[in-house]
Amino acid sequence: MWKTDDYRSVLREILTDRVKRNPSYSLRAFAGQLGIAPSMLSGVLRGKRNLSVQAAFDVAEKLGLEDDSTQHFCLLVQYAVTKSVSQKEALRDRIVAVQPGIESKDLSLDVFKSMADSDHYATLILLELNDRIDTRTNAIAKRIGISVIEAQSVLERLTRLDLIEVDAQGHYSRISNEYIVSRSQFANQALREFHQSTLAKASESLTTQSPQEKFVGSETMTFDPAKLPEVNAALEECFAKIKTICASGHSQ
């Protein structure tokens, strides 16, 4: 069950999660599994085309959704393709009945994923420059180095968390300088996944960025474990100084 009223968000979430687990996984592979032409699926994900209600049932079956999730997904598709205002209202009531929590805005999964995936944090940092760079979806995807579909998923989640907003021209900006702090049972797992995601980005940069775009260095040393608090303090001081330097001279 999903905390959204847009079936496209569901498909984007599923595709993005699969790409995260397997970077070679593609939209074409996803389309093949769903039995949909890649051009059709691309159009659906970009909001240019719609699934039919029958296609929604077929997609739900091929995704292996449980009965309640299948019903929810198909109702979302039906809601999207229906033109009648009265029918939309009736469908909305059915969607709420299937997933009552949609009105209460339970964002625990969004919080977890935003903590665990470094692309979310990178997007927030990038949007600090919204007055001097293009912050539409395609531009954000290019700057962060992710697909447009992945960027859409990130931006939708950060919007649901009330951390960013989008204007009529499609430009995103931060509406809060705060970030998510969670003390839930998932916090430690999310932090581990965040660091794994960040290390993967750092590893990738070794071969994709020039020396003018990055700093690379490492040290191997021994020290008394009792000195670890001092080491942590020194590192925190170093990071704080770097953040101050960066904040004083943002450039494109």
What pLDDT digit, counting tens, does each position of 201-238 carry? 788 888 888 888 888 888 888 889 898 889 888 988 88
Is the pLDDT assigned to residue 174 strictly greater than 50?
yes
Give residue 23's pLDDT.
Answer: 84
- For the stretch 69-76, contacts whose Cβ atoms lie closer than 8 Å and that sit 24 or more positions apart, written own/partner, are 69/1, 71/98, 72/1, 72/2, 72/98, 72/99, 73/7, 73/10, 76/4, 76/5, 76/6, 76/7, 76/10
Q: What percent of the chain has pLDDT over 70?
A: 82
Give residue 3's pLDDT.
Answer: 64
Give residue 201's pLDDT.
Answer: 78
Mean pLDDT taken over the chain = 82
Give residue 216's pLDDT.
Answer: 83
Give residue 178's pLDDT.
Answer: 59
Q: Which residue has the tokens 């029918």?
A: 87
Phi then psi for residue 165, to 5 deg, are -140, 165
Amino acid at 31: A
How far is 198 from 118, CA to CA, in rounded Å?
A: 6
Higher pLDDT, 19 or 184: 19
Q: Say if residues 60 and 69 touch (Cβ distance below 8 Å).
A: yes
Q: Which two tokens stand for residue 64?
A: 């292996």
- pTM of the model as a whole: 0.53
Q: What domains lie within the chain, and their CATH numbers?
A: 7-102 (1.10.260)
Is the pLDDT assigned to residue 184 strictly greater than 50?
no
Q: How confident is the model at residue 101 (pLDDT cuts 50, 70, 90)?
A: very low
- pLDDT, average across residues 147-173: 89
* Highest mean pLDDT, choosing among 12-21, 107-116, 174-183: 12-21
- pLDDT, average across residues 30-46: 94
85 C-beta neighbours (distance < 10 Å), count: 8
Higher pLDDT, 106 or 69: 69
Q: Say if residues 34 and 42 touch (Cβ distance below 8 Å).
A: no
